[in-house]
Amino acid sequence: MTTELKRRTIPLTRPLIGEAEAEASRRPIMSGWLTQGPEVAAFEQEFAAYTGAQHATAVSNCTTALHLALLAVGVQAGDEVITVSHSYVATANVVRYCNATPVFIDIDPATSNINPALIEAAITERTTAILCVHQMGMPCDLAGILAVTKRHNLPLIEDAACASGSEIFWDGRWEKVGKAHGDIACFSFHPRKVITTGDGGMLTTNNAEYNTQFRLLRQHGMGVSDRVRHSANQVIFEEHAVIGYNYRMTDVQAAIGREQLKRLPDIVAARRRIGTRYLDLLTNIPGLTLPHEPEWARTNWQSFWMRLPTHCDQRGVMQAMLDRGVATRRGIMCAHREKPYQREDGYNLPESERAQDRNIILPLYPQMTDEEQDYVVEMLKESCHA
């Protein structure tokens, strides 16, 4: 291992973005149309084609996408939405935005995703939807989840924030997450995700009525779009028949997103190579628990997690690695441990809590070299036994 590399900081992630995106951003800047316009429309069409969905609607971020999805399927005050605590707090927050209650169930520790076997017992007469999370890009067991939702006639919303480019084996062929195997899928384009627009989100669905609601609500409930109004040869006075939101994506973001979408297949291929290499490098380290990719899933390895041996202190290992120039993150947070979701009787979510307390996330980005990855593994071994 070179001294130069040991002095280098290895980040948790690094967006793959460059001249193509910079040049693309010139189009809306020079056109004078900066907010939701032709670039957004083109990005929506291209993203729908990539995922195989019939409809795609761009919004300001994945949180707003999830909020619109819940509203579209009818979640309202007093309802319950079954989901996981083991996710970024936004997953729970959007349920509260609807004045509904998130009902947390535990995860499958092998995949860090919702455990389908626990859903049915959590259903009550107030349950209005199921919200699953493709955590860190690992696809959920959609077949198992949908078997339950169909029995109870409940809509399924997929929090696919991390899952751009991930795939599941469905009806005898590989299909993209986002084809909306459930009712609606929601994506994030934050810089920590696989592709980025700086910030931004997308909803995909095969339900035309839902798509109409997304487009209405994302722009203050305005009954006619900017593109239609500005291209009309007659004066149009818009109406606002419902209360909507300012959840629009800008054309500058969309222009960047269109270039990122072109890169996505290569980005996923690089991430899968690096993720597979981590599995090979770490497989014989005593006490480590590695993520499991089911045979019907192809993750994009948005993040690579592992569970530390019982003798290793999570914070101590992370600090030791940081001291050696390697950034890590703790296991995915649990919303039920945060003040707004705490309750006196507590929660029975042992696997979710174990994942937060025992897992760490290692650096992974498409530009990562084998030498950098070898260094990360070496520093993990040293830090775990420090």
DSSP H helices, the chain, are 3-7, 19-31, 38-51, 62-72, 90-97, 119-122, 142-151, 208-217, 226-231, 251-282, 314-323, 350-358, 370-384
Please name which of 250, 133, 124, 257 lies closest in space to residue 195, comparing C-alpha atoms: 257
Per DSSP, what are the bridge partners of residue 102? 81
- Asked if residue 91 lies in contact with residue 66, where contact means CB atoms within 8 angstroms, the answer is yes
In the β-sheet with 127-133, what is the strand arrangement from edge to edge? 55-59, 201-205, 184-188, 156-159, 127-133, 80-84, 101-105
**Which strand (E) or helix (H) includes residue 306?**
strand 304-307
Q: Given the residues 176, 193, 339, 381, select the one marked as catalytic.
A: 193
Q: Is 193 designated active site? A: yes
What does DSSP assign to residue 308?
Answer: P
- Asked if residue 304 lies in contact with residue 138, where contact means CB atoms within 8 angstroms, the answer is no
DSSP reduced 3-state for 238: coil
Nearest-angstrom CA–CA distance, 65 and 94? 9
User: Between β-strands 113-114 and 107-108, what pairing exists: parallel, antiparallel or unpaired?
Assistant: antiparallel
Active site (catalytic) residues: 193
